[in-house]
Amino acid sequence: MTTAAPIIDLNLMIPEIFLFLWACLVFTYDLVTKRKSGNAVAWLALAGPVLTGILTVVMFSAGFYGYGKAAGAMFEVDPMAVFFKIIFLGAAFFAIGSSFGLLKNRIVNHRGEFFGLILLSTVGMLFLAASREMISLYVGLELTTIPLFVLAAFFKDDRLSVEAGIKYLIIGALSSALLLYGMSFLYGLGGTTDIWQWKLEVARIAGKGEGVGVILTLSVITILAGLGFKLALPPFHQWAPDVYQGAPTPVAAFLSVGSKAAGLVAFAKLMIGGMVAFWDPVMIPNDWGILTAILAASAMIVGNVVAVRQSNIKRMMAYSSIAQAGYIMVGMVALNDFCLSSVAFYMFAYMFANMGAFAVIALIEDATGSCEISTYAGLSRTSPALAVTMTVFLLSLTGIPPLAGFMAKYYVFAAAIQSAGASPTFGFLYWLVGVGLVTSVVALYYYANIIKQMYFHDRPSTSPITFDAPMVMVLAVALCGVVVFGLFPEPVLQFARQIPPPYELFQH
Amino acid sequence: MIPVQPEVGVAFWMLAFVIIMSGAMVVSLRNIFHCALCLIICLSAVAGIFILLEAEFLAAAQVLIYVGAVSILIIFAVMLTSNLAVQKIVQTNENALVAFVICLVFMGGTCALVDATHVWRYTAEALPANNTLEIGRQLMTDYMLPFEVVSILLIAALIGAIMLAREEKT
């Protein structure tokens, strides 16, 4: 028996390997300093995603790293992978940067573990973004999620945090099981785990006139349910508010951006990369687009409407992130040349605004110990700069021009409208965009409620908030991102447009 | 459809019956120690299904890991927690009936859809005689990347578990 090992082109995996080693360095550093490393370990962890990003860019320009496949076509660096890697590294940067306030009294004993696990979760996301095969995709998704169970329960003596960890663990296990169940049907049908090969094989079977639609329907339903849990799309969203509320605030932020983007990548690879060939009238019934559109519409409606009633800002942000996932899915079901690029750009803009807003929430929580919306009353009098910053983030999340959130919503809706106009099959997208526009008005209401609290309530609730250096850095970067990419989205968009259209994903 | 030998069919239905009954008992019995014992029966019967499918390695792994390690760990946890083994617990809440109906619908739908599909890639005849060898070979060649990533996953899980389980000195 021959045992030819595949050529593993390690060049292409340098960002992942580097970040993994960096996480080990963070663990080790915390241990050798006898756990008295103070803020140094956090700075060390913060350098991880930054250095990985710089290293990638340097290697890219030096021609040492580029688009290509490795590990027997299991691993592929393509524009989509690179774009989402930037989002993942950015989310890790923001999450670590806004955690410094926790080090004073909340996280004392296990600093190395806290930051190291964030980095390991990011490593999983990076692998996920580059996978083109179901098993590595699943393993990447698990590596993303398992550290997050621990991170959600990191305040061991806080009842809410432990509850968040348990809930997230059970929901995570259930969603993984559903996803795996769906993928096992796919494997049974195509006999291969490589998504591109699978697509060809199933197209061949379907071309012979044998019905694959029935079993594809089953796998579509189970995969949609599994990824629906990860993306918190209603009716699979019940866990999100409790987990966001109980988890440490930077972890909630990381969940809402990093983990959500990971779910999106998995969705794009499985559904758009794998199933899109079956968006053919001949091969019905396989209308996963309609199913996804229903989930997206319910996400926009439920997320925005329930967010209005929340008094805890972390729960409100949880419902807001459910709604944002709905907007993202509008772009996803457009299934035209712009769908993946608009989704990627939306996620990019959402990262800055959402991580920024969560950084402000973390800052206020560290200062006052409260996440109630009433805490924000009179913030503009005590800390005017912070109030302005928060206002900008919230307006970007609402989608007010000229901020990045507006451009993001515009491109997502434009992709859907273009698709709806091009083919009557996509007529339902008009309805979806209509739901999106109407619910955006509702979103304005609850985001503006916080702005109203900050500016038009007289009671100065807190003493001036003090900033530490990393928090200033995080807020400045997020603010720049929201404003600059709102005014000049072209460079990022050009990069996003390199992401191949649905039919050509994985094709080379 | 692959012709199935009648004795294999009989064995399958017996195992399926055991799995479903013991699985139902795991989630309904009032004594958590009995639940853990039923879990062992359920997982052993799943190993039997793997043997019927000629996946001996999976059957061995199932017995070693799930029956041997996970279930024993659960039993240890139950016995080391004071009073847990003698307490009567209620495993259901007011949503139990709804959940049961949803499960039935999902199971029925799955069975109907799987039954209606005739294009499975049956590779039973092409199964290598020694599938443990083949799994090992595949893991070290074609599936090397996910195999390595799983080891990172284990590091993360270990560190996280130790962190959570550790008693804090204040």
Q: What is the pLDDT of residues B30-52, one digit of tens each?
A: 888 899 999 999 999 999 999 98
Mean pLDDT value of segment B144-161 = 93
Which CATH number belongs to the domain containing residue B49 in this structure?
1.20.120.1200
The tokens for A500 are: 């191949």
pLDDT of residue A274: 80
Closest by Cβ to B146, choosing from A3, A120, A135: A135
Q: Is residue B33 part of a domain?
A: yes
User: Same domain for B77 and B12?
Assistant: yes
Query: What gap in Å lies between CA A241 and CA A256, rounded to an integer?
Result: 11
- Which residues in chain A touch residue B156, judged by CB atoms under 8 angstroms apart? 117, 120-121, 143, 146-147, 150
pLDDT of residue A256: 94
Closest by Cβ to B144, choosing from A6, A190, A191: A6
Strands A75-77 and A68-70, sheet pairing: antiparallel
Closest by Cβ to A150, choosing from B117, B121, B160: B160
Preferred mutation among B102, B149, B166 to probe A, highest tally of A CBs within 10 A: B149
ipTM of the complex: 0.90
Those residues whose C-beta lies under 8 Å from the C-beta of residue A314, and which sit 6 or more positions away, are A244, A245, A249, A252, A361, A371
pLDDT of residue A289: 83
Shortest Cα–Cα distance, A71 to chain B (Å): 6
The tokens for A339 are: 């769908």
Helix (H, G, I), strand (E, B) or coil at A114: helix
A129 close to B (CB below 8 A) = no
Please say which residue of B62, B90, B118 terminates a domain: B90
User: Same domain for A357 and A395?
Assistant: yes
Contact A215 B109 (CB under 8 A): no
Query: What gap in Å lies between CA A436 and CA A431, rounded to an integer?
Result: 9
Those residues whose C-beta lies under 8 Å from the C-beta of residue A151, and which sit 6 or more positions away, are A114, A117, A118, A121, A247, A248, A251, A254
User: Same domain for A88 and A112?
Assistant: yes
Helix (H, G, I), strand (E, B) or coil at A372: strand
Distance of CA A118 to the CA centre of its chain: 14
- Which residues in chain A touch residue B152, judged by CB atoms under 8 angstroms apart? 20, 120, 123-124, 143
- Which residues in chain B touch residue A4, judged by CB atoms under 8 angstroms apart? 141
- The CA distances from residue A433 to A235, A300, A403, A411, A424, in Å, are 20, 10, 20, 12, 15
Residue B125 or residue A303, greater confidence: A303
User: Same domain for A124 and A173?
Assistant: no
pLDDT of residue A483: 94
User: Same domain for A73 and A188?
Assistant: no
Query: What gap in Å lies between CA B168 and CA A347, rounded to an integer?
Result: 39
Q: Which residue of B has its CA nearest to A5?
A: B141
Q: Is residue A393 part of a domain?
A: yes
Please say which residue of B90, B114, B139 terminates a domain: B90
User: Same domain for A165 and A189?
Assistant: yes
Those residues whose C-beta lies under 8 Å from the C-beta of residue A202, and which sit 6 or more positions away, are A189, A190, A212, A216, A277, A278
The tens-digit pLDDT sequence of chain A (508 residues) is: 455 556 667 888 899 999 999 999 999 999 998 877 778 999 999 999 999 999 988 888 887 787 888 777 788 888 899 999 999 999 999 999 999 988 887 888 888 999 999 999 999 999 999 998 999 999 999 999 999 999 999 998 899 999 999 999 999 999 999 999 999 988 888 888 888 888 888 878 877 767 677 788 888 889 999 999 999 998 899 999 999 999 999 999 999 999 999 999 999 999 888 876 554 544 443 478 888 899 999 999 999 999 999 999 999 999 999 999 999 999 988 888 888 999 999 999 999 999 999 999 999 998 888 888 888 888 888 888 999 999 999 999 999 888 999 999 999 999 999 988 887 778 888 999 999 999 999 999 999 999 998 888 876 656 777 888 899 999 999 999 999 999 999 999 999 998 888 777 777 6
pLDDT of residue A191: 83
Rg (CA), chain B: 20
A172 close to B (CB below 8 A) = no
Within 131-170 of B, beta carbons closer than 8 Å to A belong to 133, 137, 140-146, 149-150, 152-153, 155-157, 159-161, 163-164, 168-169
Those residues whose C-beta lies under 8 Å from the C-beta of residue A60, and which sit 6 or more positions away, are A66
Q: Is residue A140 part of a domain?
A: no
- The CA distances from residue A201 to A198, A208, A284, in Å, are 5, 11, 17
Q: Is residue B102 part of a domain?
A: no
Contact A117 B160 (CB under 8 A): yes
- Which residues in chain B touch residue A1, judged by CB atoms under 8 angstroms apart? 133, 137
Angle at A220 between CA A217 and CA A224, to 5 degrees: 145
Q: Is residue B162 part of a domain?
A: yes
Contact B121 A210 (CB under 8 A): no
Are the C-beta atoms of A132 and A76 separated by less than 8 Å? yes
Are the C-beta atoms of A120 and A20 separated by less than 8 Å? yes
- pLDDT of B125 strictly over 60: no
pLDDT of residue A5: 58
Contact B119 A113 (CB under 8 A): no
Q: Is residue A103 part of a domain?
A: yes
The tokens for B150 are: 């799983």
Angle at B67 between CA B63 and CA B69, to 5 degrees: 105
Q: Is residue B100 part of a domain?
A: no
**B150: containing domain:** 128-170
User: Same domain for B133 and B85?
Assistant: no
Q: Is residue B81 part of a domain?
A: yes
User: Same domain for B74 and B137?
Assistant: no
- Which residues in chain A touch residue B169, judged by CB atoms under 8 angstroms apart? 109
Q: Is residue A102 part of a domain?
A: yes
A290 close to B (CB below 8 A) = no
Shortest Cα–Cα distance, B144 to chain A (Å): 8
Q: How many residues in total does chain A contain?
A: 508
Work out the burial of residue B97: count CB atoms within 10 Å of its CB; fewer than 13 is exposed, 13-18 middle, 19 or more buried. exposed
- Which residues in chain B touch residue A120, judged by CB atoms under 8 angstroms apart? 152, 155-156
Taking alpha carbons only, the member of A332, A144, A302 closest to residue A236 is: A302
A191 close to B (CB below 8 A) = yes
Q: How many domains does chain A have?
A: 3
Within 248-287 of A, beta carbons closer than 8 Å to B belong to none
Q: Is the CA virtual torsion A217, A223, A225, A231 positive or negative?
A: negative
Taking alpha carbons only, the member of B52, B83, B120 closest to residue A185 is: B120
Query: What gap in Å lies between CA B1 and CA A196, rounded to an integer?
Result: 27
Please say which residue of A230, A251, A286 terminates a domain: A286
Cβ neighbour number for residue B18 with a 10 Å cutoff = 17
Query: What gap in Å lies between CA A335 and CA A103, rounded to an integer?
Result: 45
Q: Is residue B69 part of a domain?
A: yes
Contact A205 B119 (CB under 8 A): yes
User: Same domain for A303 and A231?
Assistant: no
A215 close to B (CB below 8 A) = yes
Q: Is residue A454 part of a domain?
A: yes
Q: Give phi and psi for B95, each to the nearest 5.
A: -90, 5
The tokens for B28 are: 């309904």
- Which residues in chain B touch residue A191, judged by CB atoms under 8 angstroms apart? 121, 123
Q: Which residue of A has its CA nearest to B134?
A: A1
- Which residues in chain A touch residue B148, judged by CB atoms under 8 angstroms apart? none
Closest by Cβ to A117, choosing from B110, B143, B156: B156
Q: Which residue of B has its CA nearest to A166?
A: B164
**A492: containing domain:** 299-508
- Which residues in chain A touch residue B141, judged by CB atoms under 8 angstroms apart? 3-6, 72
Burial A30-46 (b: 16+ CB within 10 A, else e): beeeeeebeeebbbbbb
- Which residues in chain A touch residue B161, judged by CB atoms under 8 angstroms apart? 150
Q: Which bin fits A323, alpha (ψ -120 to 50), beta or left (φ > 0)? A: alpha
Mean pLDDT value of segment B64-71 = 92
Residue B121 or residue A432, greater confidence: A432
pLDDT of residue A461: 58
Q: Is residue A215 part of a domain?
A: yes
User: Same domain for A308 and A408?
Assistant: yes
Contact B145 A71 (CB under 8 A): yes
B116 close to A (CB below 8 A) = yes
Q: What is the DSSP string of A433-490?
A: HHHHHHHHHHHHHHHHHHHHHHHH-----SSPPPPPHHHHHHHHHHHHHHHHHHH--H
User: Same domain for B80 and B138?
Assistant: no
User: Same domain for A303 and A446?
Assistant: yes
Query: What gap in Å lies between CA B157 and CA B170, rounded to an integer?
Result: 25
Q: Which residue of B has its CA nearest to A154?
A: B164
User: Same domain for A278 and A254?
Assistant: yes
Please say which residue of B90, B117, B137 terminates a domain: B90
The single-letter DSSP state of residue B166 is: S
User: Same domain for A281 and A414?
Assistant: no
Q: Is residue A59 part of a domain?
A: yes
Q: How many domains does chain B have?
A: 2
User: Same domain for A315 and A263?
Assistant: no
Q: Which residue of A has its CA nearest to B170?
A: A109
Closest by Cβ to B145, choosing from A136, A214, A217: A136
E strand or H helix at A77, and its extent?
Answer: strand A75-77
Q: Is residue B113 part of a domain?
A: no
Q: Is residue A145 part of a domain?
A: no
Q: Which residue of A has its CA nearest to B151?
A: A143
Angle at B132 between CA B130 and CA B137, to 5 degrees: 100
User: Same domain for A322 and A268?
Assistant: no
Cβ neighbour number for residue B108 with a 10 Å cutoff = 10
